[in-house]
Amino acid sequence: MPSDPRLPEHLSLRMKRLGLQERDLVERFIRGSGPGGQKINKTSSCVQLRHLPTGIEIKCQHSRSLLANRVKARDLICDLVEQRELKRKARRRFEAEKRRRQKRQPSKGKKKINVANKRRHGIKKRLRARPGMDE
């Protein structure tokens, strides 16, 4: 059950799924900026929303409606938290794959190629020796 009955149910479910709680949000209503003349200069329909645990701050004035801006700001916070979580999961997956690749032993074919390259490199270095110095 959402803490604010005016917020849509799908938004409160999304916030619950992401672990966002209303008590972690600090909401301020400020005057918007940009075109709109006297109306925008007088009404505080712009929503500034801060999520305290993550430090994410959103300023939303997409609509003239205060309620629509409150919903949109929460939706934007959810988007950002979701993106952070996806990046964190992708980074963990990448690190695990990197460790797996590093631990893997080279195949027999790759070992043959490596030995051949080492022999070739050794021959090249022996050719750099001073003339008359035989092994």
CATH number at residue 54: 3.30.160.20
Residue pair 45/69 in contact (Cβ under 8 Å)? The answer is: yes
Burial 103-122 (b: 16+ CB within 10 A, else e): eeeeeeeeeeeeeeeeeeee
Could you tell me the residue range of the domain that residue 14 belongs to? Answer: 9-102
Query: Over pLDDT 90: what percentage of the chain?
Result: 58
Domain membership flag for residue 18? yes
Q: Mean pLDDT in the chain?
A: 88
Instruction: Answer yes or no: is pLDDT of 28 > 70.
Output: yes
* Dist. CA 11–CA 49, nearest whole Å: 15
pLDDT, tens only, 48-80: 999 999 899 999 988 888 899 999 999 999 999
pTM: 0.68
E strand spans, 3-125: 25-30, 46-51, 56-60
Domain membership flag for residue 98? yes
* Dist. CA 44–CA 33, nearest whole Å: 10
Nearest to 60 by CA among 37, 30, 36: 30
Nearest to 70 by CA among 6, 132, 128: 6
Domain membership flag for residue 26? yes
* Dist. CA 100–CA 9, nearest whole Å: 43
Q: How long is the chain?
A: 135
Domain membership flag for residue 74? yes
Domain membership flag for residue 65? yes
Domain membership flag for residue 115? no
Domain membership flag for residue 58? yes
| Number of domains observed in the structure of the chain | 1
